[in-house]
Amino acid sequence: MTENPRDIKPSLPDTFSFDKEEGQSSIIIGDKELFIRKAFETDPPKAIELLFKLYYKPLCSHAVRFVYSKEIAEDIVSDVFYSFLQKSIYTQVKSSYRSYLFASVRHNACAYIRREVGKTSKEKDDSLDLTSSFPTPLQILQYDELHQAIEKLVNELHPQCRKAFLMSRYESMKYHQIAQELHISKKTVEAHITKALRTLRAALQL
Amino acid sequence: MSNNLSKNIIFIYLSGRATSMQKKMIEEWLHHEKNQEQFYEWVEEWETEHPQFIPDTKKALDNFLLRISDNDLPLLTINQAKKGPFYKYGKSLIWVAASLILMVLSYFPAKDIIFYKTYKTAYGEVKKFQLEDRSSIILNANSSLKAPRFGFGKESREVFLQGEAAFSVVHTADDKRFIVNTPGNMNVEVLGTQFSVYSRNEINTVKLQTGLVKVNIQQNRKKEQIIVKPGDVLSINNADVKPILKHHQPVQDFFAWKDHRFVFNNTPLTDVLQSIKETFGADVIIEDKELQQKRIEGSFKAGNVNELLNAFAQMYNIKIDTVNNDIVLKMIK
């Protein structure tokens, strides 16, 4: 073992090895996950920390396309990681952790929207735990269709309406802050947001 | 052919510019597990190249680690007043100490003060405590927990709860039972496990996350013991109604209050308002008959009454008014 990537802890068993002879900067994602997988055997909290650092950004970026709120996107991703650790899902997952995490975040983001729009879910789905029911190809496509539909709907809102909606929802700004920023009254802000939500809800009901 | 889709096609697809033909191809391609792996690898790459937003990972990680240590390790100090997304509304220690003293003095006789220690939360407050045996309790708003000052853990571990709390009980080496007593006819007996107990206004429930609890009930002079397993919710009404045990419940939702979150599953608005009264102490009145039938669905984060009601107002076309110190909800026509 010539190279020692910064992340390796000295306590790892000798049977584990990076099978690449390349320089330490070119470790591919697959190897990073392999490393984390081993880490789960000895130190789950540390392993989850590494997993978190590895995938948090792209997961949040992906989630926000569905829920259109930075705060909620971060909450969902955090919940998925939390459940991953708490239910020891790392022992049950047959795919890569990446696949599980992305599939789980997509599923939960969709479930969140469905709940917001007033649709009750038909199955009693333990949303956070996908170990028993990985999404089918059709479902995978439906998730993408959903977030793309939402993006289209938001883009079709009137400019002022869209601005107010994004400030409230995406940036989690308070109404009076939005009113100040856009130089309109609080009542107008309320009206814009109500309209935006109503439009989204109506379109997504179908 | 469908085994070899290029990354480019997937990127086009993720940008929403794929044709129906291409989508069909992708769906077929996804039927192979290997390709699903490849798909998610490309999703990650796409998100990294075209991020919709870039969060502060360090801050998020810190909060996440805090959350893990809060809920899994019962080795924390008493009276935490954290500042972070999960405990935004902690009060200062001085205020808490003062209010604790006042509340203890007004609610319990002198003997109670000497022999029992009472942990109490105000409206809208969620706090974590640790008992002498290292078991930890998260007390929901408007609740109180009484524990013996002396000898807790020597012979038995008994506490008294009014309101709602989530328990993380440590299993002792000599299998000492931990018992939660409530004003109702039930007490909850465990060895070491994670569950929550709710006891307000004649209604008692026990919700179990992990482990096993025994609930002892006395009704009509008959004693009954019910075993509660993970995922179960046991509901008991003091008014002589038979206890109801439900399995496979979304127990996670029932602990959402620990993070100041409220989860409703098609809950009648009237029940939601009852919950608001218990948690925040606010009286909310519904004016329209139509609104009284409304059901609430969703997960809301709120540290006070206004935040929660505003979230409803946004979602359900409701107007919020204040009339003579009461909050009134009306439908917007």
Query: B131-177: per-residue pLDDT in tens?
Result: 888 888 999 888 889 888 766 766 678 888 888 898 888 877 777 78
Q: Is the Cβ of A144 closer than 8 Å to some Cβ of chain B? A: yes
pLDDT(A54) > 90: yes
- Tell if the CB–CB gap between A137 and B68 is shorter than 8 Å: no
Nearest CA in chain B to A118: B297
- What is the least distance, in Å, from the CA of A78 to any CA of chain B? 7
Query: A148–B54: do the CB atoms touch at under 8 Å?
Result: no
pLDDT value at residue B168: 87
Of A56, A115, A194, the CB nearest to B60: A56
Neighbours of A183 (CB within 10 A): 7
Between chains, do A29 and B44 touch, taking CB under 8 Å as contact?
yes
Nearest in space to A39 (alpha carbons), one of A6, A9, A2, A5 = A9
For residue B269, how many other CB atoms are within 10 A of its CB? 20
Supply A96's token pair. Answer: 């890569």
| Mean pLDDT for chain B overall | 79
d(CA A160, CA A141): 32
CB of A43 closer than 8 Å to CB of A85:
no
- Residue B128 predicted with pLDDT over 50: yes
Of the two residues A22 and B59, the one the predictor is more confident about is B59
Interface of A with B in 153-192 (CB under 8 A): none
Q: What is the pLDDT of residue A11?
A: 36
Average pLDDT value for residue range B100-126: 67
Confidence of residue A180 (pLDDT cuts 50, 70, 90): very high
DSSP letter for each residue of B42-108: HHHHHHHHS-S----HHHHHHHHHHHHHHHH-----SS----STTSTTPPPHHHHHHHHHHHHHHHS
Please, which residues 9-48 of chain A have a Cβ atom closer than 8 Å to chain B?
Answer: 29, 45, 48
State residue A98 phi and psi, 5-degree precision. -55, -50
Mean of pLDDT values over B252-277:
86
CA distance to partner chain A, nearest, from residue B319 (Å): 11
Q: What is the reported pLDDT for B98?
A: 53
- Contacts of residue A152 in chain B, CB cutoff 8 Å? 16
- Residue for token pair 């482990």: B211
Q: Residue B126 above 60 pLDDT?
A: yes
List chain A residues with CB under 8 Å of B16.
144, 148, 151-152
Local structure of residue A41 (DSSP, 8 states): H
- Find out whether A90 and A84 touch, Cβ atoms under 8 Å: yes
Reported ipTM: the value is: 0.80
Beta strands in chain A (DSSP E): none
Task: Give which of A49, A55, A57 to mutate to test B binding, by max B Cβ within 10 Å.
Answer: A57
> Which residues, in sequence order, are CB contacts of A76 under 8 Å at separation 6+?
A63, A67, A105, A108, A109, A112
Q: Most confidently modeled of A31-35, A115-119, A170-174? A: A170-174
Task: For residue A1, give the DSSP letter.
Answer: -
Residues of A numbered 58-87 whose beta carbons fall under 8 angstroms of chain B's beta carbons: which are they?
Answer: 58-62, 64-65, 70-71, 73-75, 78, 81-83, 85-86
How many distinct helices (H) and strands (E) make up chain B?
A: 10, 18
What is the chain A residue with the closest CA to B22? A141
In percent, the amount of chain B with pLDDT more than 70 equals 80
Q: Which of A116, A126, A194 sits opposite B298 (nearest CB)?
A: A116
| Higher local confidence (pLDDT), B323 or B61 | B61
Q: Which of B27, B37, B314 sits opposite A197 (nearest CB)?
A: B314
Substitution target in B46, B64, B247 with the highest count of A β-carbons within 10 Å is: B64
DSSP state of A203: H
- Best probe of the A interface among B3, B47, B49, B58, by most A CBs < 10 A, is B47
Say if the Cβ atoms of B55 and A60 lie within 8 Å: yes
The whole-angstrom distance between B111's CA and the closest CA on chain A is: 42
Q: State how far residue A14 is from chain B, nearest Cα, in angstroms.
A: 28
Alpha-carbon distance of B26 to B93, in angstroms, equals 58
Residue B46: closest C-alpha in chain A:
A58
| Segment of A3-12, A107-116, B10-19, B320-329 carrying the highest mean pLDDT | B10-19
* Total Cβ atoms within 10 A of residue A114: 17
